[in-house]
């Protein structure tokens, strides 16, 4: 989800699904809960390990995707090679008090309400009902709903309310 290069964080915010039309527009599948794709914003791709900086010229809503035109391209032939590329930004979104980046949760140790370690967060999974923490316990991968009924505190570690059958 992110890498460190210097002091900048690399946030994955979308993927180029396909071209759109003949004027260099692209269909983008966004991975971000934040409004990352707006006119004038700068994003980038990593093409052959080189950072390609792109300026957003226009954004339109598509059917389940965005249609974006970058200032650097005016023709479908210029953007064909970008299909499948991941789009990044260095810009960290403003988070509310109870919001977290996925990558900030992954790797955190998880303890129950009795301060007994139950495992480590391996992934955050998005489902229609919200999010699940995938926790590697001593014996299996367990899924815990990311809701206040189960997630009691998040700081250097995560404290959960462990009920029978949860793990």
Cβ–Cβ < 8 Å for 145, 96: no
Same fold, 4-89 and 102-160: no
pLDDT in tens, 66-91: 999 999 999 999 999 999 999 999 88
- CA 137 → CA 36, 113, 126, distances in Å? 35, 16, 20
**Cα separation of 160 and 151, whole Å?**
5
**Cα separation of 162 and 150, whole Å?**
7
Residue 138: its pLDDT value, please?
93
Query: In the chain, what are the domain boundaries?
Result: 4-89, 102-160
102-160: which CATH architecture?
A: Roll (2.30)
Q: pLDDT at residue 132 above 80?
A: yes
The confidence band for 8, taking pLDDT boundaries of 50, 70 and 90, is low
Which residues have a Cβ under 8 Å from the Cβ of 144 and sit 6 or more positions away?
Answer: 110, 132, 133, 135, 150, 151, 160, 166, 167
Mean pLDDT of 132-155: 94
Domain covering 4-89 in this structure, CATH number: 2.40.30.60
What tokens were used for 138?
């001593």
């Amino acid at each position: 989800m992110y890498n460190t290069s210097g002091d900048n964080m690399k946030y994955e915010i979308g993927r180029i699904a396909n071209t759109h039309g003949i004027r260099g527009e692209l269909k983008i599948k966004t991975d971000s809960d934040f409004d990352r794709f707006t006119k004038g914003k700068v994003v980038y791709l990593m093409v052959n390990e080189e950072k390609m900086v792109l300026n957003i010229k226009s954004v339109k809503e598509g059917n389940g995707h965005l249609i974006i035109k970058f200032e650097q391209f005016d023709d479908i032939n210029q953007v064909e090679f970008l299909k499948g590329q991941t789009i990044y930004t260095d810009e960290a979104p403003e988070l509310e008090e109870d919001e977290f980046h996925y990558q900030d949760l992954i790797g955190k140790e998880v303890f129950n309400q009795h301060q007994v370690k139950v495992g480590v967060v391996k992934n955050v999974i998005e489902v229609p009902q919200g999010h699940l923490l995938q926790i590697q316990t001593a014996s299996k991968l367990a899924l815990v709903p990311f809701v206040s009924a189960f997630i009691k505190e998040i700081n250097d570690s995560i404290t959960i309310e462990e009920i029978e059958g949860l793990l």
